[in-house]
Structure 1
Amino acid sequence: MTNLDARYQLTNEEEQLLQRATDLFPLLRKYGQQIDEERHIPEELIEQISAAGLFRLSTPRKYGGYEVSMHALVEIISEVAKGNGSAGWVVQIVNGNNFNAALSLHPQVLDLIFEKEQEVRFCSVLQGRKVNVQKVEGGYVVEHGLWGFGSGSKHATHALLNLKDAQSSKENASMLLAVIPMSEVTIVDDWYTMSLRGSSSNSLQINNVFIPEVYVVEQNTNIEDHQNAPAAGLERFYEYKPYTNIITTLTTGISAILGLARGGLDYFVETAKRKGITMTTHSIQAEVGHIQYKVGLAAMKIESAHLHINRSIESLEYHIQTKQLFTEKEFAQIQTDIGYAAMLCTESIDMLMVESGGSVIADANPLSQIYRDIRGGANHALTTASTGLELYGRIWLGLQPQNILTLSYRSMLKV
């Protein structure tokens, strides 16, 4: 099922959640073409995912969630993505955002939000395209705001939106996060893409909406701002609080990409045992030497990606447990690990596509959908390999980082 190292054995509860994700595979695969055609996940499938508890993996236990480990989060979400990339992406985004909300919002605000909903699901956009916002007595008025790529928007109960656009973020990297019920948000139906079509990554728009101050929080990286005692039931989240942004990198991109690669390899191996190669005398693809080589290389790339993901989680956990500050290189390494893992996963599917013959270009072919979905996922700003590799190269060469996330954390890094 997975290739977890013995050091990362899951709890019994986490194993059960992983098994529930595995059990959904036939249903997820069955809905694949419909998800792409309708550009969202059918409600009956959302209900199945919800009933399995997979939208509550990162929700605090005090609000009915599971608080799974980061290793478990990667494994469970990747198992969903093996069945369908869009579904895996939405499950990943909701859990990553719920984690972010638990880290960022005041406990009393969390109480207010979670007591009103049977299951809270956050979508988010962490930088606006254009936001006109005014500070007024008691809160903020968003005169007009437009945010791009609100993944999971059609299935969310709330949006977690940065009230700063690109220009404002350049002047001050800290985020001004606002919680807004989806009833106050207009979903712009503009998600027409080749990739992750069912992820509902539509633009979000707000006009003349008042947001009470209690629902807005400035998310920054000043370590002095994270010294208060944790609220009851949120102790685990308090430990991670100083590293919210880097946790977002780990929880909102790579798990689905890993699952897509695993699913693509499984599908290719399954079909290679029963199909030949057109215009050759080979009756079984799996018996051909260069196919065996490509399968072995693809498997090693995916397993190497998993190792890089585990290393990034290990590094984060080590620094949290020992309360040691990151060096700039250690911090950059986490970001680079994630992008490099995405690149390895994408390369593995690229190789298998080349060996799959002309039939693979059909939309209905599962590997075709996996190829399109993984390419879109790896193009996400948090998983783009070239950005991370440039960052890592600059650090090795003794140059200043170019990455905004690394720059924003420099006050918390060991000199």
Structure 2
Amino acid sequence: MTMQMADPLDIPAELEPAIRAAAGEMEAGRDLPEKLVRELRDSGAFRLLTPRELGGFEAPLETVLKVYEGFGRLDASVGWIVWNANWGFIGALLDEPGNARIWGSGAEPVFASSSMLGTAVPCEGGYRLSGYWKLVSGVNRADWLAAAGLVMEDGSVRLTEAGVPDVRFFALRRDQLSVKDTWHVSGLLGSGSNDVVVEDAMVPGELVARVDVPARVRRPRYQGYIPALVLPGCSAVVLGVAQAAIDETVALALSKRTATGGRLAESAHAQAVIARSEAALRAARLLLLSTARDFDLAVGSAEPVTLEQRAALRAAMSHAAQVSRDVLAAMYELGSSASIYQGNAVERLFRDGMVALQHHNHSAGLFEAAGRVRFGIDPGLPVF
């Protein structure tokens, strides 16, 4: 029987010993060990956004981001997988027959996901989905792939009633896809973010979710802007990684000797760098959480999430990324030669954090999109 803790905020601390013990295996195997995935699943780490009737926490976005940050402090790859696997909210979008296919066995499903677009062609009973999805974190340990697809009809993109491209979420079994061993990278090794190929896979209609109509579950968590449940998670993870880098650098500085013989912690330069970095990181964290709280308040009062609120969330994500990048570089530099050695915590945090910051959700152009909204101009992005 799956065991679930009463408070999702407690999950990272409870799993810390298991995560620490698996660190070497993650690096060597370029994936999360199966045992750790089972422990994460059984703790409830993958059901933060899953509806209550399916065994989920149905947690507020602010709480979910705090959990991701907590995992990021322990291990970037684990935080990344927990974020990418939390697609249980699809259960609020699917009808009951679809949920019966995914959750009906009683076993907790493990998802991998990708927001890149494949193409889907309607057929009898559902759709034929094809596509190439890059960087699908955790796919080797997943039972299901939640993939976005653009519906095509007669060789052209099908439009919805609102006149926009018809994009839907498709749930595919693990045996319907091929995984390419492409995850040969410098950091975030344990995330197993390989590429995925799907060729003309039949997806029954009950496993296809629309995002342009109200969710079947009418509770507030699922009546807001659905992409907001996914987008900011990566930024919360990197905030946790950057905080861990500060913590490790402080510990290093208490014993590391400088060229003049004193401890690094006694250096005025080191003191100022730590203080500035921690202040900037705390401010970025508070900004991201406050925008998430605004989303929670809006859906809780049945108010529509505004374009301005979405722009504020995007700007907070970009700000968190920029600050985290600056902090990681500052800690790496402050550690001097100690930071370059394998086995040094800052060395791995720097690699992992910088790879996580390469995600398209952290691209500088998203600041521009948020700024366009402030000027009353369309953000110019399909998902914003």
TM over 0.5: yes
C-alpha distance in 1, partners of 2:361/2:270? 32
Q: 1:145 aligns with which of 131, 134, 157?
A: 131
**Residue matched to 1:281:** 261
Alignment of 1:107-146 (within 5 A): 107-128=96-117, 131=119, 133-142=120-129, 144-146=130-132
1:290-347 Cα offsets, whole Å, 9 max, x none, are: 1111111111122112111112112212322333344433321111111211221221
C-alpha distance in 2, partners of 1:87/1:263? 14
1:25-66 Cα offsets, whole Å, 9 max, x none, are: 344234323312211011222233233322222222222222
Alignment of 1:187-202 (within 5 A): 187-202=179-194
**Contact kept in structure 2, 1:342 and 1:383, CA below 8 Å:** yes
C-alpha distance in 1, partners of 2:197/2:307? 37
**Residue matched to 1:181:** 173
Q: 2:78 aligns with which of 87, 106, 109?
A: 87
**Residue matched to 2:327:** 348
Does 2:382 match 1:401?
no
C-alpha distance in 1, partners of 2:184/2:190? 10
Does 2:149 match 1:163?
yes
SS at match of 1:54: coil
Q: 1:218 aligns with which of 206, 210, 213?
A: 210
Aligned residues: 374
Does 2:6 match 1:13?
yes
**Contact kept in structure 2, 1:103 and 1:241, CA below 8 Å:** no
Which is helix-richer, 1 or 2? Answer: 1
Going from structure 1 to structure 2, the CA distance change for 1:302 and 1:19 (only over 3 Å counts) comes to: same
Aligned-pair Cα RMSD in Å: 2.5
Going from structure 1 to structure 2, the CA distance change for 1:24 and 1:324 (only over 3 Å counts) comes to: closer
Does 2:228 match 1:246?
yes
C-alpha distance in 2, partners of 1:37/1:169? 45
**Residue matched to 1:410:** none
Does 2:312 match 1:333?
yes
Q: What percent identity do the matched residue pairs reach?
A: 21
The alpha-carbon deviation at position 165 of structure 1 amounts to: 9.1
SS at match of 1:404: coil
Going from structure 1 to structure 2, the CA distance change for 1:124 and 1:357 (only over 3 Å counts) comes to: same
**Contact kept in structure 2, 1:79 and 1:259, CA below 8 Å:** yes
**Contact kept in structure 2, 1:174 and 1:219, CA below 8 Å:** no
Going from structure 1 to structure 2, the CA distance change for 1:162 and 1:19 (only over 3 Å counts) comes to: closer
Runs ≥4 residues deviating over 6 A = none
Q: Which runs of 5+ in 2 are unaligned?
A: none
**Residue matched to 1:363:** 342
Residue identity matched to 1:200: G
SS at match of 1:368: helix
The alpha-carbon deviation at position 191 of structure 1 amounts to: 1.3
Going from structure 1 to structure 2, the CA distance change for 1:316 and 1:19 (only over 3 Å counts) comes to: closer
SS at match of 1:187: strand
TM-score by length of 1: 0.83
The alpha-carbon deviation at position 180 of structure 1 amounts to: 0.6
Going from structure 1 to structure 2, the CA distance change for 1:401 and 1:303 (only over 3 Å counts) comes to: same
Q: Which runs of 5+ in 1 are unaligned?
A: 1-11, 407-415
C-alpha distance in 1, partners of 2:158/2:327? 36
Residue identity matched to 1:87: V
SS at match of 2:113: strand
Does 2:238 match 1:257?
yes
Q: 1:269 aligns with which of 227, 244, 250?
A: 250
**Contact kept in structure 1, 2:144 and 2:171, CA below 8 Å:** yes
